[in-house]
Amino acid sequence: MATLTFRERFNRYMRFKDVDRPPFYEFLGFWTETINRWRGEGLPAGVDVYDYFGFDKREGFPMDYGPIPRFIPKTIVENERYRIEVNDMGITMKILKTSTSMPTFIDFPVKGRADWIRIKERFDPRDIRRYPKTWSPELIEYYKETDRVIGLSMPGFFGQARHFMGLERLLLSFYKDPGLIHEIMDFWADFLIEANREIVEKIRLDYVSIWEDMCYSRGPLISPKLFEEFMLPCYKKLTGFLRSKGIEIIMVDTDGNHEIINDLFIEGGVNCLYPLEAAAGMDALKLRDKYGEKLLMIGNVDKRTLTAGGSALRKEVERKIALTESGGYIVSVDHAVSADVPFHNYVEYISIVKKRFGIER
């Protein structure tokens, strides 16, 4: 078969059609600390890590789903070790100065209905400032003609509600104020549809990704019953709209173990899940046996084996990469590549993948 463009390869492969080789990506990328470490272990200075390893090309449409206008950032406390600040999303958090680890979240802008009514005013879906400054007929033409894979990523229903309220308040509110949670999620479905309407009508998109991160190591943070009541109607509404505009690949990004809500995601119109966190018990081979071509998958290479290296790494990669022969699965690490992964281990991982795919560079 002749060499395909990045876009042709992705779209054929994710529809279980013949390709010249599987797509080659690190889908969730790398921590900044990881790249900094690797600069001292062999990654050349000034060279982009994606270019260095020769990944297939893709890019995201830069849509702004945040509050407009933004909140005014301010620092509340600062010392040598950390800083407590309110960011431009209205979230109060503690940030350590010595690492790029997750901040500690302290407070959130929505504590009840009065706060929700006020913050809604910052989420006008038709505000032109949500689009990139380069939005123009020329940009539309570029997205139609480019050979790169083009995706659109947006916050999901649980994910955005958590940004508004914080995890603890959100979980309690499912029981204490279910009406407010219904209102927030219904609003978000309508917001996403209207904010994205012009994009999906004018731009050729290869996939849409919805960020949720709604699971931990043993399961989802809400029950399937709550998902079915609060989130499923919103998913059906959003994915129905996207499919009416010709978008066939709709992904959800969530860490942790989402096994007991996979069927609900699929019923809601989702047909791709990632990053399939191995440490949480997710297994792409078992998912393929259960769902067949109903479910596309990305990730699932256990990041712990990249840290360990050696036979553990080789065994893990060879097991997962076998799935690429049937299509619909993109081999990738099951999260952003962390700073505990030595450069030479990652090089070995990439070498195994390239050899299997027949990539010379």
| Residue 302 near residue 279, CB atoms below 8 Å | yes
User: Does pTM surpass 0.75?
Assistant: yes
Residue with tokens 């690190």: 26
| Residue 253 near residue 274, CB atoms below 8 Å | yes
* 199 lies in some domain: yes
* 341 lies in some domain: yes
Strand bridging mode 296-301 / 329-333: parallel
How far is Cα 192 from Cα 76, in angstroms, rounded to an integer?
33
* 45 lies in some domain: yes
pLDDT in tens, the chain (361 residues): 899 999 999 999 999 999 999 999 999 999 999 999 999 999 999 999 999 999 999 999 999 999 999 999 999 999 989 999 999 999 999 999 876 667 899 999 999 999 999 999 999 999 999 999 999 999 999 999 999 999 999 999 999 999 999 999 999 999 999 999 999 999 999 999 999 999 999 999 999 999 999 999 999 999 999 999 999 999 999 999 999 999 999 999 999 999 999 999 999 999 999 999 999 999 999 999 999 999 999 999 999 999 999 999 999 999 999 999 999 999 999 999 999 999 999 999 999 999 999 998 7
Domain co-membership, 99 together with 16 = no
* 159 lies in some domain: yes
* 1 lies in some domain: no
Domain co-membership, 97 together with 238 = no
Domain co-membership, 127 together with 51 = yes
Distances (CA, A) of 122 to 29, 127, 131, 156, 230: 31, 10, 15, 18, 23
How far is Cα 306 from Cα 304, in angstroms, rounded to an integer?
5
* 76 lies in some domain: yes
Give me the domain span that covers residue 83.
Answer: 72-108
Domain co-membership, 195 together with 315 = yes
How far is Cα 264 from Cα 224, in angstroms, rounded to an integer?
8
Domain co-membership, 29 together with 103 = no
Domain co-membership, 178 together with 244 = yes
12 SS3 class:
helix
Domain co-membership, 270 together with 300 = yes
* 295 lies in some domain: yes
Q: Is 34 exposed, middle or buried (0-12, 13-18, 19+ CB in 10 A)?
A: buried
Domain co-membership, 55 together with 88 = no
Cβ-proximal residues to 20 (8 Å cutoff; 6+ apart), any chain: 1, 2, 3, 4, 9
| Residue 117 near residue 184, CB atoms below 8 Å | no
How far is Cα 257 from Cα 281, in angstroms, rounded to an integer?
6
Domain co-membership, 193 together with 153 = yes
Domain co-membership, 80 together with 199 = no
Q: Which of 91, 108, 125 is the last residue of a domain?
A: 108
Domain co-membership, 87 together with 196 = no
Domain co-membership, 48 together with 76 = no
Q: What is the CATH number of the domain that holds 270?
A: 3.20.20.210
Q: How many domains does the chain have?
A: 2
How far is Cα 252 from Cα 275, in angstroms, rounded to an integer?
9
Ranges of beta strands (E only) in the chain are 58-60, 74-78, 82-86, 92-96, 104-107, 149-155, 207-211, 215-216, 219-220, 250-253, 272-274, 296-301, 329-333
